[in-house]
Amino acid sequence: MGAQPSKRSPVLLVALAVVALGGGAALRRVLARPAHAIGVPGAQASVVKGGDPGEILLRVPHLPGSVTLDGDTDDPGWTRPPGPARTGPFLMPDGSEARPYSNARLLWGDGHLYLALYASDEDIETRTTQADGPLWLDDSYRVTFRRPGVEYVIEVSPTGVVSDAIRKPGGAWDYSWNSGVHVSPERDGTINDPSNMDEEWVIEMAVPFESLGMEGEPGESIGMELRRCDTPKGAPRVCRSWGEGEEKGRIVLE
């Protein structure tokens, strides 16, 4: 895929410019967001109100190019217009941006739903190494899909370990189910080392539509919720989400 561009230099340049102007408060606002969320065209959310009452819709474009699962989202599928669907930043109950920063991008094609899950993280912590292990105790992303009479959950760690299960609403999760998901992680930081400062991790994943009971055709939709959990340094574990709560998330294939 070629050399990966530096993720730090754009922020440092902006920071130096702000310092030169004496804008300390502005500097703090800039550094609060991840580097590649700054100045990226189309970085706003692709969410629209509509559909059933109590739902928010995310319209997911078809692949405009190829995607290679390598944890690096500079493939044509992610970068060519119209670009992926975007959740925008995960939010606090009061509507403010959650910390640490999290967001997701989505595309579909080739029989798969593609997701890029971004997590800003000052201390990446994960100790589960076995598939279907207790990822809910680690830093992780959880993706839940809902169809009438069935729910699917796929959890993934910063190292790419997957825990997936299926259940009827209100029933027990069956971890013998295999989603067939393909996952590739990328990290900027040191796993399980609180002595230094980490930066971020990204999960690039492809979920087969077949495993979700879908055909993978324009106009199809499925309920979807995203949750990202993290344990900041010296602070209690926190979880923030998109598509949970009073307004449930739903994706529509365009």
Contact 27, 33 (CB under 8 A): no
Handedness of CA 124, 127, 129, 135 (dihedral sign): negative
Predicted confidence at residue 104, as pLDDT, reads 98
CA distance 54 to 121: 31
* Domains of the chain, residue spans: 1-31, 43-253
pTM of the model: 0.81
Predicted confidence at residue 53, as pLDDT, reads 66
Contact 183, 141 (CB under 8 A): no
Mind listing the pLDDT tens digit for each residue in 130-167? Answer: 999 999 899 999 999 999 999 999 999 999 999 999 99
Fold exhibited by the domain 43-253: Immunoglobulin-like (2.60.40)
Cα angle 45, 50, 52 (rounded to 5 degrees) comes to: 130
Structure tokens at 83: 């670009």
The b/e string for 93-107 (b: 16+ C-beta within 10 A; e otherwise) is eeeebbbbbbbbbbb
Helix axes 9-20, 24-31, angle to 10 degrees: 170
φ and ψ at residue 20, rounded to 5 degrees? -60, -30
CA distance 217 to 215: 6
φ and ψ at residue 26, rounded to 5 degrees? -65, -40
Helix (H, G, I), strand (E, B) or coil at 12: helix
Predicted confidence at residue 195, as pLDDT, reads 92
Contact 108, 114 (CB under 8 A): yes
Mind listing the pLDDT tens digit for each residue in 226-235? Answer: 999 999 888 8
- Of all residues in the chain, what percent are helix, strand and coil, respectively (each to 5)? 15, 35, 50
> In a structure prediction context, what are the per-residue pLDDT tens digits for the chain, which is 254 residues long?
333 333 344 433 333 343 344 443 332 332 344 444 322 333 445 655 445 667 899 999 999 999 999 988 999 999 999 999 999 999 888 888 999 999 999 999 999 999 999 999 999 999 999 999 999 899 999 999 999 999 999 999 999 999 999 999 889 999 999 999 999 999 999 999 999 999 999 999 999 999 999 999 999 999 999 999 999 888 888 999 999 988 899 999 99
